[in-house]
Amino acid sequence: MREDYDKFVERDAEILVIGPEGPRRFKQVWEAERYPFVGFADYRHTVADRYGQEVKLRKLGRMPALLIVDKRGVIRLAHFGDDMADIPKNKDVLALLDRLNQEEVAQ
């Protein structure tokens, strides 16, 4: 997602990454990796639970999830991964953002 970050920004989108680590560990990784996204340590899992991120003990923890919330605050994509690699492709997410922006122009 990092390599396409500018394409997301061009489409009026911001990327918020929410992870289960504590604030210190989260900040450490964030600064080392220089991620351009907004990052949050949701160590109490309050937001993850509110959105329904799944925990699979046999797969050693939380499954990835990706959602798109449009400018009106409505969920337009909700993808809950079945395994670590199960996340939507950037090109598909960018295409959905294009559609949302076209809808906005048409309104």
Partner 1 sequence: MAERVSVGQAAPVFELTDVQGNAVRLSDYRGERHVLLVFTRGFM
Q: Which residues bind partner 1 (CB under 8 A)?
A: 1, 8, 11-21, 23, 25-27, 29-31, 37-42, 46-55, 61-78, 80, 84, 93, 97, 100
* DSSP one-letter string for 32-65: HHT--SEEEE-TT-HHHHHHT--EEGGGTEEPPE
Closest approach, Cβ 88 to partner 1, in A, equals 10
65 and 79 in contact (C-beta within 8 Å)? yes
Closest approach, Cβ 63 to partner 1, in A, equals 7
Closest approach, Cβ 38 to partner 1, in A, equals 5
Q: Quick one: 58 or 72, whose CB is closer to partner 1?
A: 72
Q: Quick one: 46 or 105, whose CB is closer to partner 1?
A: 46
43 and 20 in contact (C-beta within 8 Å)? yes
Strands 65-69 vs 61-62: parallel, antiparallel or unpaired = unpaired
* Per-residue CA distances from 31 to 47, 57, 83, 101 (Å): 23, 29, 26, 32
Closest approach, Cβ 89 to partner 1, in A, equals 13
